């Protein structure tokens, strides 16, 4: 077999595997949106069989043979060529896959499907004791997976690397600790301010049908293609890329609180815009895939926060909001804008403000790192979660449903996922600052309903690039700098300094000079 023939075989093999994974995403979407209650056990078995088929394909010895043949050829001389990028990522995936026994892959697929179902059933009643054995099974299997994959420093790294290639806990910890110091400084300034928002204006009655219409309008306005997607209800919002022309988003509504559903839709729309902007010609191969979960989160957080919570955005949308929601007709624009940017420690991560959100992520990072490294057991997780909530946010969850059970991620086996949210915030702020440096101030365009320059810039710099680069090299290429917390901290200080009327200048340097970094 020639290198060209080997590469052709690898491409076809990758495409067929991608179709199987796409089928799995359809099943996953259905399980979390429309499946009848009695259908879950059968769905779990479907996931297990799919996992078996995918694992067989991922570990096919012919992949190793084909990769070796191509890697020794001129096809990979240019590391940024399409073939070289695909081969690099196929090799990475193959080397990881062959370390996972098939029975472990199948057991994980079934346990996580069962875990998600158990979570959906037990979270509303905070039934930790019923949920605990399902989570314990998932944790045991994920520990086994980490050992099978291997690691240089600690088991958690093996799982983190699946979501953010090349990252390690040791590299993230000081970055998150540095950010924590700055966030606490901003939070203290906010809490010490005499100027506070009228939060009740976003906690009036907002009919669900009206919220749905308005959220759809906003998603479409910033670029989401509803001809290639849809918006549905779910217990925990998510976006899923079924394939070209089919990228779906979900949300959940609270008729007495405007923010969760609306900003949740913007968040998931950001994810979907990334998937809708990937190069279709390379679908099914790494060159047509996303970079990492952190880069994915940068897109959702950018549209949700830097765009969606900006004054420019609401200068365009607010009159429409008042038409859709008569309850807002007596609320001035600036009052509403301040309310949707209220900074207040809260129990639920998905409803957290921009300042405290990353504190939620930090505590989860520390807990799941301890779980995977064997320093914490599942039975002790609720107490450990509550301790960190008190330490970081000054709050104690009234029960597991608003505490350790509030997120679906651990039941789904997504250990190593949470840090990507904070990485996404860091990437987003750095990308947005670069876009403004190149395009000029963006908010005036938002105020006129012009979101195309932002989306076009992201399409060019990030979406169309597929998996050509890993996350940190992509940040260097796009922004000309290494990843730094500076842009996110500066953005938060300036924005909330203006809203809460405190001086932002010097906070970053002061907090780094006088406050210790976590873990030091």
**Residues contacting 65, CB < 8 A, separation 6+:** 6
Beta bridge pairs of residue 241? 247
Angle at 489 between CA 485 and CA 492, to 5 degrees: 145
Q: What per-residue confidence (pLDDT) applies to 56? A: 96
Beta bridge pairs of residue 249? 231, 239
pLDDT tens readout for residues 415-448: 999 999 999 999 999 999 999 999 999 999 999 9
Secondary structure (DSSP) of 307-374: ITTSHHHHHHHHHHHHHH-GGGTTS-HHHHHHHHT-----S-GGG--TTTHHHHHHHHHHHHHHHHTT
Pairing of strands 231-233, 239-243: unpaired
Percent of the chain's residues with pLDDT above 90: 95
Domains in the chain, ordered, with CATH?
Answer: 3-150 (no CATH), 191-491 (1.10.1370.30)
The C-alpha atoms of residue 108 and residue 115 are separated, in whole angstroms, by 10
Q: What per-residue confidence (pLDDT) applies to 504? A: 72
The C-alpha atoms of residue 294 and residue 456 are separated, in whole angstroms, by 20
- Quick check: 455 pLDDT over 70? yes
- Quick check: 126 pLDDT over 80? yes
- Quick check: 512 pLDDT over 50? no
The C-alpha atoms of residue 317 and residue 231 are separated, in whole angstroms, by 20
pLDDT tens readout for residues 276-310: 999 999 999 999 999 999 999 999 999 999 999 99
- Quick check: 509 pLDDT over 60? no
From 164, 167, 268, 368, active-site residue? 268
The mean of the pLDDT values for the chain is 95
Q: What per-residue confidence (pLDDT) applies to 505? A: 63
Is residue 116 part of the annotated active site? The answer reads: no
Angle at 448 between CA 431 and CA 504, to 5 degrees: 50
pLDDT tens readout for residues 264-273: 999 999 999 9
pLDDT tens readout for residues 58-73: 999 999 999 999 999 9
Among 49-53, 312-316, 457-461, 512-516, whose mean pLDDT is lowest?
A: 512-516
pLDDT tens readout for residues 323-343: 999 999 999 999 999 999 999
Helix (H, G, I), strand (E, B) or coil at 232: strand
- Quick check: 467 pLDDT over 90? yes
Higher pLDDT: 507 or 29? It is: 29
Percent of the chain's residues with pLDDT above 70: 97
CB 233 within 8 A of CB 216: no
Q: Residue 235 — very low, low, confident or very high, per pLDDT cuts 50/70/90?
A: confident
- Quick check: 31 pLDDT over 90? yes
Mean pLDDT of all residues in 235-245: 95
């Amino acid at each position: 077999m020639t290198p060209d023939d080997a590469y052709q075989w690898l491409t076809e093999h990758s495409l067929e595997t991608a179709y199987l994974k796409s089928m799995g995403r359809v099943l996953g979407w259905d399980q979390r949106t429309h499946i009848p209650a009695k259908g879950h056990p059968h769905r779990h078995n479907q996931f297990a069989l799919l996992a078996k088929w995918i694992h067989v394909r991922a570990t096919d010895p012919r992949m190793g043979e084909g990769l070796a043949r191509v890697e020794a050829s001129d096809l990979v001389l240019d590391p940024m060529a399409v073939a070289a990028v695909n081969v690099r990522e196929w090799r990475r995936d193959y080397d990881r896959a062959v370390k996972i026994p098939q029975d472990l892959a199948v057991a994980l697929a079934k346990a996580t499907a069962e875990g998600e179902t158990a979570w959906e059933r037990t979270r509303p009643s905070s039934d930790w004791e019923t949920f605990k054995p399902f989570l314990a099974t998932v944790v045991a299997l994920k520990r086994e997976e980490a050992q099978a994959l291997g690691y240089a420093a600690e088991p958690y790294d093996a799982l983190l690397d699946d979501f953010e290639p090349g990252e390690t806990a040791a590299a993230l910890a000081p970055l998150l600790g540095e950010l924590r110091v700055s966030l606490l400084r901003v939070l203290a300034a906010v809490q010490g301010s005499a100027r506070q928002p009228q939060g009740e204006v976003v906690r009036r009655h907002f009919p669900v049908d009206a919220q749905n219409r308005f959220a759809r309008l906003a998603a479409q306005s910033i670029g989401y293609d509803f001809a290639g997607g849809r918006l549905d209800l779910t217990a925990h919002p998510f976006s899923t890329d079924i394939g070209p022309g089919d990228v779906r988003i979900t949300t959940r509504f609270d008729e007495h609180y405007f923010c969760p559903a609306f900003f949740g839709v913007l968040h998931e729309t950001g994810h979907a815009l990334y998937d809708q902007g990937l190069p279709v010609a390379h679908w099914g191969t790494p060159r047509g895939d996303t970079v990492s979960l952190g880069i994915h989160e940068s897109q959702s957080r950018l549209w949700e926060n830097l765009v969606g919570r900006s004054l420019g955005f609401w200068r365009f949308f607010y009159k429409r909001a008042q038409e859709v929601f008569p309850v807002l007709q007596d609320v001035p624009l600036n009052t509403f804008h301040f309310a949707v940017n209220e900074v207040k420690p809260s129990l639920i991560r998905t409803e957290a403000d921009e300042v405290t959100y990353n504190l939620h992520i930090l505590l989860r990072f520390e807990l799941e790192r301890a779980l995977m490294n064997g320093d914490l057991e599942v039975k002790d997780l609720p107490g450990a979660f509550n301790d960190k909530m008190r330490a970081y946010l000054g709050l104690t969850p009234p029960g597991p449903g608003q505490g350790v059970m509030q997120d679906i991620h651990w039941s789904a086996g997504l250990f190593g996922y949470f840090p990507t949210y904070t990485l996404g915030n860091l990437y987003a702020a750095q990308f947005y600052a670069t876009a403004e440096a190149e395009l000029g101030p963006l908010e005036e365009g938002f105020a006129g309903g012009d979101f195309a320059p932002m989306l076009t810039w992201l399409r060019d710099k990030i979406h169309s690039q597929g998996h050509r680069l890993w996350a940190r090299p992509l940040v260097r290429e796009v922004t000309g700098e290494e990843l730094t917390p500076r842009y996110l901290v500066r953005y938060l200080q300036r924005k909330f300094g203006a809203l809460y009327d405190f001086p932002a200048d010097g906070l970053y340097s002061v907090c780094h000079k006088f406050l210790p970094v976590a873990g030091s």
